[in-house]
Amino acid sequence: MSEWIDITLPIRADLPSWPGDPVIQLHQISTIGVDGADCNVTTMASTVHFGTHVDAPRHYLPQGETVDQLELGLLMGDAYVLDLSGTGRHVSAADLAQVPEGVERLLLRTANSVRGYLGDRVFHTDYCGLLGEAAEELVRRRIRLVGLDYYSIGAMEESYQVHTAFLAQPKAIALEGIFLRDVPEGWYELVCLPLLMQGREGAACRALLRAKPC
């Protein structure tokens, strides 16, 4: 049986946040053997859109689904990894012509992975992301979960357009900040379970892949 591949970005205090958002704060408030403490305790403060996370439709749509309303079945199942890392540019509608028929969950490996952008201490505003036309093509193809190897599925200058177009379709989920550097193109089994944040528009998650038999 194939081994699970962890595509989750480890949470670290030196990871960048989205420009304008507060940086993550990790603070150990109790240390074994210090001041009589018998356990280690760490506090964490951040937005719910930090590191590897999902965007629920409520992130951009006032009446959209929240994380606790997402369809669990969509977060687990067959997924296709499309390698676009050789282009070095934003993902266009034409790029998606390479996606096989019947894909419901699509993960995009872009030049971000080759450049080592994800996990870097600096936020790279020139990251590769979806263009608005590509988001519309995903909807046309009935792809309901899309993942990308940076902190937003949309190119920075078109992030609003991409999110609103994609998340407006029924039961849609965006998976952001996935680590695909060493993941070849092909079919996988995806498991992606966000924290059960009641009434919230996003949540951190653990995302795993397992290669499907040829």
Angstrom distance (rounded) from CA 143 to CA 122: 31
**What's the one-letter identity of residue 152?**
S
Per-residue pLDDT of 58-111, as tens digits, reads: 999 999 999 999 999 999 999 999 999 999 899 999 999 999 999 999 999 999
User: What are the structure tokens assigned to 132, written together?
Assistant: 């608005």
Tell whether the model's pLDDT for residue 38 goes beyond 80: yes
Helix (H, G, I), strand (E, B) or coil at 159: helix
Angstrom distance (rounded) from CA 41 to CA 31: 7
Regarding pTM above 0.85, the answer is yes
Q: Give Cβ neighbours of residue 38 (< 8 Å, ≥ 6 apart).
A: 32
Angstrom distance (rounded) from CA 53 to CA 124: 18
Rounded mean pLDDT of the chain? 96
The pLDDT, as a whole number, for residue 1 is 53
Over residues 170-195, the mean pLDDT reads 97
Question: Parallel, antiparallel, or unpaired: how do β-strands 4-6 and 202-211 relate?
Answer: antiparallel
Angstrom distance (rounded) from CA 138 to CA 134: 6
- Kindly state the percentage of the chain with pLDDT values over 90: 97
> Which residue segments constitute the domains of the chain, with CATH numbers given?
4-9+48-211 (3.50.30.50)
Closest CA to 78 of 202, 213, 173: 213
Per-residue pLDDT of 102-144, as tens digits, reads: 999 999 999 999 999 999 999 999 999 999 999 999 999 999 9
- Give residue 56's pLDDT band: very low, low, confident or very high (50, 70, 90): very high
- Give residue 213's pLDDT band: very low, low, confident or very high (50, 70, 90): confident
DSSP codes joined into one string, 78-135: EEEEEE-TTT-SPBPTGGGGGSPTT-SEEEEE-HHHHHT-TT-SS--TT---B-HHHH
